[in-house]
A and B are shown apart, each in its own frame.
Chain A
Amino acid sequence: MDPHPPDAAAPEASPAPVKLEFSEVAKSFEHDSQTVAALRPVSLRVHAGEFVVLFGPSGCGKSTLLNLVAGFETPTSGTITLDGKAIDGPGNDRLMMFQEHALFPWLNVIDNVMYGLRWEPGFRFRPHARRRKALELLHLVHLDEFAKSSIHELSGGMRQRVALARALAPDPKVLLIDEPFPALDALVRAKLYIELQDILVRTHKTIMSVTHDPREAACLGDRVVIFTGRPGRIRSEVRVDLPRPRDINSPEVAEHAGRINAQLEAANEEPSGSEA
């Protein structure tokens, strides 16, 4: 896991095709016959292989945006397309990792990782192939010895790694990560970030994630999209062109984190209900 040479990754070399396109996507919820706006019209392009981090104050609609991509909710207006096709309901081409780990307690570790493969075309009725794939993924997240453990025996960090393996198993085009690493101690987190980037570089996923932590945003994202307070709207973007894997404790990451934080503070100072 030694760091790649500084210029090995060339993030902007060739413009990758657009994976996800949001055009004027807005969402509001009906609450006791009142309409609550959760997200003001948002337009955004996410390219294949890109890691986009959504960053903003609590309640600004970040989870809502991920839920729209996952297909759990439908936009009130506007459209979201994946590879040019409009999104229609949940599917495992866009896998979501949740704020809590959401592993199934009735299955052990390896059965959790295998779960999503059961209905995959290449794996239907092929339990051995499923198991092999799951073991590979457990190896990737360094949990080989825990294949047979049950979920309640694992630590918080291990659970998140199992959740990552489970999400990677059906080989989704897009990975949606909603604040996946809360409340882990600093050492475990730093290690997990390195591992995560290592895996991402190897598997070339397109990723949208949500975080409250500017350092996490700077460490993981190619682009950090900053939202205003609720109902959210995109205020600005910060590009992070640092080589991977990045160490969350490095001064470069800290410097970008500072810029992201400044943007957030500026966003907070603007009156949030300013739109007429």
Chain B
Amino acid sequence: MKNHPDRRHKWYVLGFYLLLFAVWQLVFSLELAPDYLFPSPLQVARRLTELALDGMLWPSIKTTLSRMAIGFTIAAGIGLLIGLLMGVSRIVNGCLKSLFLGFQSLPTAAWMPISLLLFGLSDHGIYFVIIMSSVAAIAISTSDGIHRIPPLYLRAARTLGTPAYAMPVRVILPAALPGIVTGIKLGWTLGWHGAVSAELIKSSVGLGYLLYMGRELNDAAQVLGIMMLTILFGLLLDRFLFGLIEQRIRRRWGLAGES
């Protein structure tokens, strides 16, 4: 009952996507371009089904996701640790902040050449790209989150007798959690870019590889289909996993509950 306006909002979104597909189909039926260059939504769906039936699709998705799971876990660990150091030490922050902002301005694909040089065509290179793409965002958001901790929490912690060694785990990291989740979310998106870009060049399995193969075979339906899947998985995890966690934390921390 209470969610009524919210639910109606969802219908609008659904309507928007239906409209998008309808326009796509309409443009297709105008026959402005040959259909091997500009396929219809139906052709894309058919190609994806074929790939799935050939047993190409699911292993690819699984591979990309599991590469992300491993690479991103490592990136999050490193990013959190560096972010914590940046958060508590002005000197570390001064040194690393500009470096990491610089990293963030680098397109993820720009990590590819160095990855090829360092790791050749092995899988390690893909992890390298994922980590390098996401670690800076996580570290910067973590340190920003720590710098934005209301001083009141730190004073409360001290008056309650928290020893210095216990501060990071008991107070600083939890108090910075809203900033940290934002960083994790952003880092996931950047890491996802990195993973798919890396697979374009280095892999023989994965979503990026299917994209690359589609181009090699002049198969626009496959390219569009895999692009859509990449968007879908990126979006699903961003909105529905990290997004929901972020929202819950912001509500609990008494921060504005905008969605």
Contact = CB atoms under 8 A, between A and B. Distances in A.
Interface of A: 70, 72, 90-92, 94-96, 98, 100, 102-106, 115-116, 118-120, 150-152, 166, 170
Given A96-B155, A98-B155, A119-B166, A105 B253 contact: yes
A175 B199 CA distance: 62
B132 to A, nearest CB: 31
Interface residues on B, range: 20 to 34
A102 B153 contact: yes
B105 interface: no
Interface of B, helix, strand, loop or mixed by DSSP:
helix
A95 B159 contact: yes
A91 B170 CA distance: 17
Nearest to A96: B159
B174 A106 contact: yes
Contact of B156 (A104, A119, A170): A104
Contact of A92 (B153, B161, B253): B161
A120 B160 CA distance: 10
A166 B156 CA distance: 10
B84 to A, nearest CB: 16
B254 A104 contact: no
Nearest to A72: B155
A100 B177 CA distance: 20
Nearest to A93: B161
Ranked nearest first, the 3 interchain pairs of A and B with the lowest CB-CB distance are A92-B161, A116-B160, A106-B174
B25 interface: no
Given A102-B152, A104-B174, A152-B252, A72 B162 contact: no
A119 B155 contact: no
B184 to A, nearest CB: 16
B249 to A, nearest CB: 9
21 contacts: A70-B159, A90-B161, A91-B161, A92-B159, A92-B161, A95-B160, A96-B155, A98-B156, A102-B156, A104-B153, A104-B156, A104-B174, A105-B252, A105-B254, A106-B253, A116-B161, A118-B166, A118-B170, A152-B253, A166-B160, A170-B160
Contact of A119 (B159, B161, B177, B253): B161
A115 B163 CA distance: 12
A120 B161 contact: yes
Contact of A90 (B159, B174, B175): B159
Nearest to A120: B161
Interface of B: 152-153, 155-156, 158-163, 166, 170-171, 174-175, 177, 251-254
A95 B155 CA distance: 10
A90 B158 contact: yes
In this complex, which of B159, B166, B252, B253 has the most chain A Cβ atoms within 10 angstroms of its Cβ?
B159
A96 B153 CA distance: 12
Given A98-B152, A119-B166, A106 B159 contact: no
Nearest to B253: A105
Contacts of A150: 252
A169 to B, nearest CB: 8
Nearest to B160: A116
Contacts of A118: 166, 170
A26 B221 CA distance: 78
Given A104-B153, A105-B252, A170-B161, 4 more contacts: A70-B155, A96-B159, A102-B155, A105-B254
A94 B162 CA distance: 13
Contact of B177 (A70, A98, A106): A106
A120 B161 CA distance: 8
A72 B158 contact: yes
A117 to B, nearest CB: 9
A92 B159 CA distance: 5
Contacts of A104: 153, 156, 171, 174-175
Contacts of A96: 155-156, 159
In this complex, which of B152, B160, B254 has the most chain A Cβ atoms within 10 angstroms of its Cβ?
B160
A72 B251 CA distance: 30
